[in-house]
Amino acid sequence: SFDILIIGAGSAGCVLAARFSENPAIRVGVLEAGEHPSDPDIAIPQKWPSLPDRPYDWAYRTIPQPGTANRVHPWPRGRIVGGSSCLHAMAHVRGHADDFAPWALATGDARWSYAGLLPGFRRSEAFSRGADAHHGGDGPLTVYLPDDELSPVVRAYMAAGVARGVPLIGDHNAGPLNGVAANSLTIRDGKRVSAADAYLLPALERPNLTLITGARVHRLVVAGSRITGVEAEIAGAPATFSAGMICLCAGAIASPLLLMRSGIGPASDLKAAGIACIADRPGLGGNLHDHLLTAGNVYRARRPVPPSRLQHSESLMYLNAADPTRPDGRPDVVLGCVAAPSVSECLAPPAYGTAYTLLSGVTHPTSRGRLTVTGPDLDDAPRIDPAYLSTDHDRAMARRALQLAREIGHSPALDEWRAEEIHPGLDVRSETEIDAFLARAVITHHHPVGTCRMGAEAMGADSLGADSPSVVDPDLKLHGFEGLHVVDASVIPTIPSGPVHAAILAIAETFAAGR
Ligand code: FAD
């Protein structure tokens, strides 16, 4: 029995474990299905693309996506102490301040505005260039803004952006987002810093903090309208834990599934999966959305491309789609430069060292899909449907993003590197040809969110619409129940412009600070 029980030692769970256990009077327990990392490749930033499908990956798969030539997309998620922060690409971008306005509007709670989250962003951070009004200097997580290590081909791409009139901004986490900057990275001394490295491991020496690894949580223990504990399995043996407060931090896929296995979710889905329904929650598992990247606009190089000294994708460029020179407002599209070939499984990759890639993506996709439980057991694979490229907006923006990538790619500033465009290739020009290429080239950016979204009202419409009823209240407490809060990527109502890890840490920091 614990005062606070955290399910999942992933990105958000590590923050909560460290922050709650600062108070020695609170007994904090953490249950994690995975084990401590033992694979040395995890720490090496350049190795991240090879980590999916290793034994510590939950290795989810989407259902075939009509918008992407009926492809099935692998969705890696970490099953390990540190969660998906042990697999991720280490890019640290908070998003644009306006990205968070819909969160505050949906909840009626200013904590979820950018101004409300800023103390959490700052508290999480040890910025490599020191503290200022935007950055924290002595937080747990190293945020490193590289300079000397940038690849020469990435520098040429940044110069191509500047020649196009794109603002050169020093840092994507210091106010304006539109512009080109080196990628801020959670790397220290050349090594990955996971959320466990930053938060959980240093806290484990506290006597009031207990981490139990290899603990697979099957379902919640529900007594009337109070959630009092969990049923788990450790080394094949059943185990039950109880707590005054449970924080569900299992991520955007596993958190809603755990609620559904416990009988909380859309009644018809639960019935079809053979699960007795105790609370009909039509919003649970809905509002599933993700960023896509087009992988990619690939160029054969005139000379050898030196290997990245960082994590390959060394610079991002956030752009207004109508006017890429515009410095203000939220971006619509993002470009990235990878000092290596980066392609989907449908395209032939050129040899490493002979090519570089411009990635392109849509920052605010409007496609919304659904996660559905298929059976009562933890090992029943979920039905994951992100409904990729199912809206005109997303298709139009994906086209525009690729067009801008090609414009930058063919800039004179890249003449010294570009031999020829390999993908899509100069013969791919018409809208039909571009759409066919996009359907085969897009890959997940690994940012699924939204399946237990926050909002002021349980069933009724809030500012985000009745189509996706909220699941947790403004304090991230499960609507209609006492004793359980959801704190992870699943509560995000609308995806921010950038990679989502920074925002997830800020959500957890803000939640922990409120109690
Ligand atoms: P997670 O970190 O996934 O944690 C969930 C934890 O719960 C896991 O440890 C899991 O094992 C555990 N768990 C789940 N079910 C159970 C259960 N039943 N019982 C016990 N434990 C359970 N974001 C960025 O900002 N920048 C990037 O560059 C970036 N690149 C990415 C690249 C990849 C390959 C991936 C996979 C993700 C990437 N992301 C990136 C996304 C980011 O890592 C995730 O959004 C974030 O880590 C999710 O945090 P979370 O706390 O919601 O869940």
Distance separating alpha carbons of residues 439 and 446, to the nearest angstrom = 17
User: String of b and e for 37-50 (b: at least 16 CB within 10 Å)?
Assistant: beeeebbebeebee
Query: CB neighbours of 148 closer than 8 A, spacing ≥ 6?
Result: none
What end-to-end distance do the CA atoms of the chain give, in Å?
A: 20
Distance 85 CA to ligand 1 centre (A): 6
Average pLDDT over residues 345-358: 97
Asked if pLDDT for residue 238 goes beyond 90, the answer is yes
Query: Over pLDDT 90: what percentage of the chain?
Result: 97
The 8-class DSSP code of residue 282 comes to T
pLDDT on residue 461: 65
pLDDT on residue 214: 98
Asked if pLDDT for residue 458 goes beyond 60, the answer is yes
Return the ligand 1 atom nearest residue 490 CA: 52
Q: At what angle do helices 114-124 and 501-513 cross, to 10 degrees?
A: 100
Average pLDDT over residues 154-160: 98
Distance 335 CA to ligand 1 centre (A): 23
Average pLDDT over residues 190-217: 98
Q: What is the ipTM of this complex?
A: 0.99
Average pLDDT over residues 231-241: 97
Query: CB neighbours of 241 closer than 8 A, spacing ≥ 6?
Result: 1, 2, 5, 29, 31, 229, 230, 232
Q: pLDDT by residue (tens digit) across 99-153?
A: 999 999 999 999 999 999 999 999 999 999 999 999 999 999 999 999 889 999 9
Q: pLDDT by residue (tens digit) across 276-318?
A: 999 999 999 999 999 999 999 999 999 999 999 999 999 999 9
pLDDT on residue 147: 87
Query: Residue 467: pLDDT band by 50, 70, 90 thresholds?
Result: confident
**Binding pocket residue ranges, ligand 1, CB within 6 Å:** 7-13, 31-34, 52, 76-79, 83-85, 87-91, 215-217, 249-252, 254, 258, 378, 446-447, 488-489, 499-502, 504
pLDDT on residue 514: 77
Distance 81 CA to ligand 1 centre (A): 10
Distance separating alpha carbons of residues 1 and 246, to the nearest angstrom = 11
Distance separating alpha carbons of residues 419 and 426, to the nearest angstrom = 13
Q: pLDDT by residue (tens digit) across 28-48?
A: 999 999 999 999 999 999 999
Q: Domain 2-513 in CATH: superfamily?
A: Glucose Oxidase, domain 3 (3.30.560.10)
Distance 77 CA to ligand 1 centre (A): 5
Distance separating alpha carbons of residues 39 and 80, to the nearest angstrom = 11
DSSP string of 21-36, one letter each residue: TTSTTS-EEEE-SSB-
Distance separating alpha carbons of residues 218 and 486, to the nearest angstrom = 16
Query: Residue 514 CB: number of other CB atoms within 10 A?
Result: 10
Average pLDDT over residues 488-496: 98
Asked if pLDDT for residue 459 goes beyond 90, the answer is no
Q: pLDDT by residue (tens digit) across 53-75?
A: 999 999 999 999 999 999 999 99
Return the ligand 1 atom nearest residue 498 CA: 25
Best residue for ligand 1 mutational test, from 57, 259, 487, 501 (most atoms within 8 Å of Cβ): 501
Q: pLDDT by residue (tens digit) across 352-400?
A: 999 999 999 999 999 999 999 999 999 999 999 999 999 999 999 999 9
pLDDT on residue 189: 96
Distance separating alpha carbons of residues 507 and 501, to the nearest angstrom = 10
CA 159 to chain centre: 28
Return the ligand 1 atom nearest residue 76 CA: 36
pLDDT on residue 460: 59
What's the chain's average pLDDT? 97
pLDDT on residue 148: 87
Query: Residue 209: pLDDT band by 50, 70, 90 thresholds?
Result: very high
Distance 31 CA to ligand 1 centre (A): 15
Return the ligand 1 atom nearest residue 448 CA: 45
Query: CB neighbours of 245 closer than 8 A, spacing ≥ 6?
Result: 3, 4, 5, 483, 484, 485
Query: Residue 462: pLDDT band by 50, 70, 90 thresholds?
Result: confident
Best residue for ligand 1 mutational test, from 47, 58, 84 (most atoms within 8 Å of Cβ): 84
